[in-house]
Amino acid sequence: MTPQPTADPHGTIETVFRIESPRVIAAVARMVRDVGIAEELAQDALVAALEQWPRDGVPDNPGAWLMAAARHRAVDLIRRRENYARKLAQIGRDLETTAPPEEPSALHDPDDIDDDLLRLVFTTCHPVLAPQARIALTLRLLGGLTTPEIARAFLVPEATVAQRIVRAKRTLATRNVAFEVPYGPDRAARLGSVLDVIYLIFNEGYAATAGDDWLRPSLCEDALRLARVLSGLMPKEPEVHGLTSLLEFQASRAAARTGPSGEPILLKDQNRSRWNRMLIARGIAALDRAGATATGAPGPYALQAAIAACHAHAYTYEETDWTTIATLYALLSARSPSPVVELNRAVAVSMAQGPEPALEIVDAIASEPALRDYHLLPSVRGDLLLRLGRTAQARAEFERAARLTRNEREREMLQKRAAGEEA
């Protein structure tokens, strides 16, 4: 069919590129073995689309058009290099057969594209990169976000994000990081890094560490989309399904977590009729897949998903099975020890057994360096002290928590609690 003109070709191009760019970059990166160059070639294909589509009309298969255009440019680049023979050996002797066909609507085997995406995920989340660099590069190459969008999401200057991305690409190139999916013992360690990056992205959207907004829904959506993609790419990995389940459950509460003015609403005060039942159903299905694919004890993300499922199954706060949640947190603490997990366990214990044993847990971890500036430690302690009738001490803890948080909405809530107001 002949491409048809569209009323807004530039808007169409932008939408198509955001959706298709991860696959295009992944496919080209397999050819050139450099994610930085692959992104540049994908951008070149975008420029070509901006020049041709408004004039000729949007192709019937715009994603395939972009893929073919980028691959053509990759082949041209390889042919221009002086060390073409060495590069030819690296990418395989079948370069000519894997070069894009003349007809831009033709696609390679979808399984190859999935493999390339998986390689790109493991590359952008490689442990040689600093955590913030992994996040920025993943959002850029796999999330399709621009540098300004990433900067706005994390409340940092655009120059900082741009520098992180440039350094990340340079590090991957200079350290000769292989564009591949790891296998054997290295796979488990590398997969943990991938899952952690996606979880960090989601958490920044779910409870922003700084700024005026409590939620940044677009980051949650980006992380959830990445988790779903990864579940499709790695269907036999239980922790991938565990993370996806956890994010589905957490995302289901988003509409109930803020009030009309954007103020935070605590779990006990949320209107659960506003929880998204479709996302909860997806979370339950993903948790079932995690259990079905597991060959041993559940991993940290599957355990956290099981905890979230307990909340999802309770139609009111009073119906929550806190005893099971406390048990699951104990398992999580044994499986993946951390002061933050212990703090969460203390909250569950306080609901299952009362504030006194919970306060003992909190006081036992209060001197942990990781919690020195963690505002939720005094916030939880303040709540426990308040339930024990130690009002003055509770007020001091809420005031300390308000000073530590960098999120304005959360600070307002904590200040209200310090003043004895409902929040």
pLDDT of residue 348: 97
**Cα 303 to chain centroid, rounded:** 18
pLDDT of residue 102: 41
Let me know if residue 308 belongs to a domain.
no
pLDDT in tens, 2-15: 555 555 667 778 87
Residue 86 has pLDDT above 80, yes or no: no
Whether the Cβ atoms of residue 366 and residue 354 lie closer than 8 Å to each other: no
Let me know if residue 386 belongs to a domain.
no
Number of domains the chain is built from: 1
Let me know if residue 115 belongs to a domain.
no
Residue 1 has pLDDT above 90, yes or no: no
Token match 């970059």: residue? 25
Beta pairing class for 210-211 and 406-407: parallel
- CB burial of residue 239 (10 Å; 0-12, 13-18, 19+): buried
Instruction: Show the domain range for 99.
Output: 9-109
pLDDT of residue 8: 65
* CA distance linking residue 352 with residue 145, whole number of Å: 43
pLDDT averaged over the chain? 86
Residue closest to 26 by CA, chosen among 87, 93, 106, 117? 117
Residue 213 has pLDDT above 70, yes or no: no
Q: What is the dihedral of CA 113, 280, 423, 400, to 10 degrees?
A: -50
Position with higher pLDDT, 88 vs 138: 138
Residue 29 has pLDDT above 70, yes or no: yes
* CA distance linking residue 67 with residue 109, whole number of Å: 12
Residue 97 has pLDDT above 60, yes or no: no
Mean pLDDT lowest for which of 5-19, 98-112, 241-255, 364-378?
98-112
Mean pLDDT, rounded, for 258-286: 92
pLDDT of residue 214: 52
Let me know if residue 130 belongs to a domain.
no
pLDDT of residue 76: 85
Q: How confident is the model at residue 290 (pLDDT cuts 50, 70, 90)?
A: very high
pLDDT in tens, 123-150: 999 999 999 999 999 988 988 888 888 8
pLDDT in tens, 64-75: 899 999 999 888
Let me know if residue 20 belongs to a domain.
yes
Let me know if residue 188 belongs to a domain.
no
Residue closest to 274 by CA, chosen among 247, 259, 254, 250? 254
SS3 of 143, please?
Answer: coil
What's the predicted TM-score (pTM) here? Answer: 0.78
Residue 338 has pLDDT above 60, yes or no: yes
Let me know if residue 237 belongs to a domain.
no
Full 3-state SS string of 301-340: HHHHHHHHHHHHHCCCHHHCCHHHHHHHHHHHHHHCCCHH
Residue 227 has pLDDT above 80, yes or no: yes
Dihedral (CA of 12, 118, 201, 248) sign: positive
pLDDT in tens, 360-397: 999 999 999 889 889 999 999 999 999 999 999 999 99
Q: Both tokens of residue 94?
A: 């079948």
Let me know if residue 368 belongs to a domain.
no
pLDDT in tens, 149-204: 888 777 789 999 999 999 999 999 999 998 888 887 788 778 988 999 999 888 88
pLDDT of residue 406: 82
Residue 94: how many CB atoms within 10 A of its CB?
9
pLDDT of residue 5: 54
* CA distance linking residue 190 with residue 80, whole number of Å: 34
pLDDT of residue 156: 83
Residues 6+ apart with CB under 8 A from 138: 121, 124, 125, 197, 198, 201, 226
Residue closest to 219 by CA, chosen among 121, 124, 151, 122? 151
Position with higher pLDDT, 1 vs 294: 294
Whether the Cβ atoms of residue 350 and residue 381 lie closer than 8 Å to each other: no
Q: How confident is the model at residue 81 (pLDDT cuts 50, 70, 90)?
A: low
**Which amino acid type is present at position 209?**
T
